[in-house]
Structure 1
Amino acid sequence: MFVRIVKLSFEPSKVDIFLSLFNSKKEDIRNFEGCTFLELYRDKKHQNIFFTYSYWDNEQALHNYRHSDLFISVWSETKQLFNDKPEAWSVDKLERLP
């Protein structure tokens, strides 16, 4: 399983815009071919920092998503809200809890 973790830091005044955008697109992303899981987390200390955590069938599935019209439209709106450069990690899940 291929896991993607992305850290997103927003202008505090634009957090509600981001949340609205995420909520309007999350099911489209979850239903994108190859995506098997998507969650959004918010930092406890810094309320304008979020993390997306997603599972993909493989690296090619994520690549296909990142080159899709869906990603291009979501990302073009999202990146206007940042106050810092996003960070991303691609990791392999080694152990699954029972």
Structure 2
Amino acid sequence: MFIRIVKMSFAEENIPAFLENFEIIKDKIRNAKGNRLLELYQDKTNKCIFFTYSYWEAEEDLENYRKSELFSEVWTFTKQLFNDKPEAWSVDKLMSLE
């Protein structure tokens, strides 16, 4: 399993549209084959910055999602709202303390 972290920055006036759309599509993303967790975070000091954390069984699952019609629809809508280039990382979890 690995984690995909995506950092997105939105124009302030576009945040409501992003959150509305995320509410509509979050379950579809979460139910994509191989997805085990989807979380959305908002930066505490810059309210225009958001992060998604998604856990995937295999890199192939993420790639299949990224090639899907769902991703195309989500990304086409979301990228119009950005005020900066998004960043993404794929990472392996080495340790978790709870």
Q: Per the shorter chain, which TM-score range? A: over 0.9
Stretches of 4+ moved more than 4 A in 1? none
Q: Mind listing any 5+ residue stretches in structure 2 that lack a counterpart?
A: none
Aligned position for 1:80: 80
1:40 is aligned to 2:40: yes
Aligned position for 1:6: 6
Percent identical pairs in the alignment equals: 59
RMSD, matched Cα: 0.7
Q: TM-score, normalised by structure 2?
A: 0.97
**Alignment deviations for residues 18-68 of structure 1 (CA, whole Å, 9 cap, x no partner):** 000101000000000010000000000000100000000011000000000
Deviation at 1:96, TM superposition (A): 2.9
2: CA distance, partners of 1:62 / 1:97? 25
Name the aligned partner's letter for residue 90 of structure 1. Answer: S
Deviation at 1:97, TM superposition (A): 2.9
> How many residues get paired?
98
